[in-house]
Amino acid sequence: MIRFSTVMLSLTTIVGLSQGALAADAEQGATLAKRWCATCHVVSTDQQSAGGQAPPFSAIGKTTDLDTSKLALFLLLPHPKMPDMNLTRAEAADIAEYIKSQGK
């Protein structure tokens, strides 16, 4: 039996390591967000509206204790209402960095 906590721990380690190796790039994240996320989320200030009840990135980015490595991790895990977008770790980190920048 693989325990959930073990999987979470190793995923955290992997994401942590990859962030050390590659600096996250918010500009790349913006491109990815506009391609993959804009159908449901308002991803930038120049976007008027989006499809569903998904929170805008500016609101997510304002979360006071927003941790980009946790956010990147969240993006790699299947999410009930969100499709599995098969993002790479680097892409997830870039998007997380971009979301954070939208909260400023």
Q: Is 1 or 35 the residue whose CB approaches ligand HEC more closely?
A: 35
55 part of the interface to ligand HEC, by CB under 6 A: yes
Q: What is the DSSP string of the chain?
A: ---HHHHHHHHHHHHHHHHHHS---HHHHHHHHHHHTTTTS--STT----SSSPPPHHHHHH-TT--HHHHHHHHHS-BTTB------HHHHHHHHHHHHHHT-
41 part of the interface to ligand HEC, by CB under 6 A: yes
Count of residues near ligand HEC by CB under 6 A: 19
Binder among 6, 27, 83, 88 for ligand HEC (CB under 6 A): 83
